[in-house]
Homo-oligomer: A and B are copies of this chain.
Amino acid sequence: MSALGEHADVVSLVDHHVHGCWLDTADRAHFENALNEANTEPLASFDSGFDTQLGFAVRAHCAPVLGLERHAGADAYWQTRSGLDEIELAQRFLGAAHVSDWLVDTGFADGVAGLDELAGLGAGRVREVVRLEAVAEEAAAATGEYAAAFDEILWRRGRSAVGTKSVLAYRGGFVGDLSEPTADEVAVAAARWRDAGGTRLLDRVLLRFGLHRALRLGKPLQFHVGFGDRDCDLHAANPLHLLDFLRVSGETPVMLLHCYPYEREAGYLAQAFNNVYVDGGLSINYLGARSAPFIARLLEMAPFRKILYSSDGFGPAELHFLGARLWRNGIAAALQRFVDAGDWSEPDAIRVVDLIAHVNARRVYGLD
């Protein structure tokens, strides 16, 4: 193995966007469904979550962590996995990821570990990323003026958090006006939403309000971009529709997550705006053996100080580990080609690995 490959294999990571892992035992159907991100229904009876790039990657890379042979069969994998305690699984997989800092989006946490539980696994420091739409839903339930309640909650939670997160992609997408609404518009929209129950925020005025308050907070603002489940109109989650928003976003870092199949568009935005960053997030796990070319495309237009690592792991602890494993393999494969072609020096390649693995994240989230 080259010095580059060895370095990528062991470099410490900041996982700047992740969720909790399971702490309770799941059944096989639940596990296989957790290997499909896009579908919102149970997998068809003729299908298997194992017969996907992600499923093959689990069998290739996670099986050895459980003491199985690489490419263990699906049944053998499941038999071994289901014989282990979920917390034991979590400790093994999160520990094997070699992540120093987990920046945890707590906006969706049904059935997965909370911040303290994650910290208790002893697999790295844990910091929070606050979901803006959750703040809005808290503010809807609070008494008094909506905008003031939103601000109070955001500033209070933001004190200990390292950043904010928006799932605008799932709440109508990026197309249309994303300018800051007036105080009057916010008050009217909030009253209407509260009257309607104040659940699952879809009101564009209040979504826009939240984004602009997050800009004002100044901590990195993460956007779910592209690949996700089918509740999202994928084409409305093309980050180019954020252009007008980015043009007025000032200096607050904006982090474009996942990005598939718009990773080249996202990289362009990272070049176009001093405050825009990209990562491959969720997409890397789902691409499995095809993640290396994706990681290479992330290294096209995006400046190297503007690219980060995340796993977006949620649920099976395999995902928290596998994201790291695939990224290590993929970045090494991508950069080795550049070195072999004489386009990059190996020391430069190793330096870029460090930038993406942790240096950029430490700088932009102020982790030290």
Contacts and interface: CB of A to CB of B under 8 A. Distances in A.
Contacts of A234: 240, 243, 265, 268
Contacts of A348: 56, 71
A357 to B, nearest CB: 15
For chain A, which range describes its interface: under 10, 10 to 19, 20 to 34, or 35 or more residues?
Answer: 35 or more
A293 B39 CA distance: 26
Contact of A290 (B44, B260, B299, B306): B299
A180 interface: no
Contacts of A230: 243, 247, 272-273
Count the copies: 3
Contacts of A52: 271, 303-304
A38 B301 contact: yes
A235 B238 contact: yes
Contacts of A289: 337-338, 341, 343-344
A293 B299 CA distance: 12
Most buried by B among A43, A271, A342, A355: A271
A233 B240 contact: yes
B56 A344 contact: yes
A363 B45 CA distance: 12
B71 A38 contact: no
Contacts of A301: 38, 53, 227, 260, 286-287
A53 B290 contact: no
A271 B36 contact: yes
B299 A47 contact: no
A261 B264 contact: yes
A274 interface: yes
A274 B241 contact: no
B43 A274 contact: yes
Contact of A344 (B60, B338, B352): B60
Contacts of A333: 341
Interface string A213-247: 00000000000000101100111001011010001
A71 to B, nearest CB: 4
A60 B243 contact: no
Contact of A60 (B39, B53, B57, B342): B342
Contacts of A60: 342-345
A292 B341 CA distance: 10
Contact of A271 (B39, B71, B265, B345): B39
A41 interface: yes
A71 B344 contact: yes
Interface in A234-282: 234-235, 238, 240-241, 243, 247, 260-261, 264-265, 268-269, 271-275
Contacts of A149: none
Nearest to A39: B272
18 contacts: A38-B269, A39-B272, A46-B363, A53-B300, A56-B343, A56-B344, A230-B273, A233-B243, A234-B240, A235-B265, A260-B264, A261-B265, A261-B268, A271-B286, A287-B301, A289-B344, A329-B341, A333-B341
Interface of A: 36-41, 43-44, 46-48, 51-53, 56-57, 60, 70-71, 227, 229-230, 233-235, 238, 240-241, 243, 247, 260-261, 264-265, 268-269, 271-275, 286-290, 292-294, 296-297, 299-301, 303-306, 329, 333, 337-338, 341-345, 348, 352, 355, 363
Given A38-B269, A60-B345, A288-B343, 4 more contacts: A38-B272, A43-B274, A261-B268, A289-B344
